[in-house]
Structure 1
């Protein structure tokens, strides 16, 4: 009985349609990073975030995460510089 059930399950599984990959969604965080100039201030990145519909707190978190992962450097208070381009 188990063999019959295993064969049946294998047959049903083999007849399932193949799953199509989902189209890649644009990543808001990556888009935000790409729009940042090489050197910018807190005011600059908040303006860019506002234009993209990103809340200030979210933009602040993105900048914090970029600095923590060392793709941005924070040399002076409120001044930032891109160190690396974000890898997709």
Structure 2
């Protein structure tokens, strides 16, 4: 049996779990900041990437274009940084 996936099911899920996602983003942001201060590379990028993805989803959910696009740019930078770190350290 296949689960039903009607239009808007992602939006419904995001709306239902928005507060939990924001708490997770807060913890990721704190972890990323601690990793920056402690110079624990590449953890700031690894923790910062899902932080940005959560805020993209929240920005998309509420139609906040600026919030969404700022985090899209940071997501691209984090992906670039993680790939670069992987190549240079490998």
Name the TM tier (shorter chain).
under 0.3
- Structure (1/2) with the larger strand percentage: 1
- Structure (1/2) with the larger helix percentage: 2
Structure number, greater radius of gyration: 1
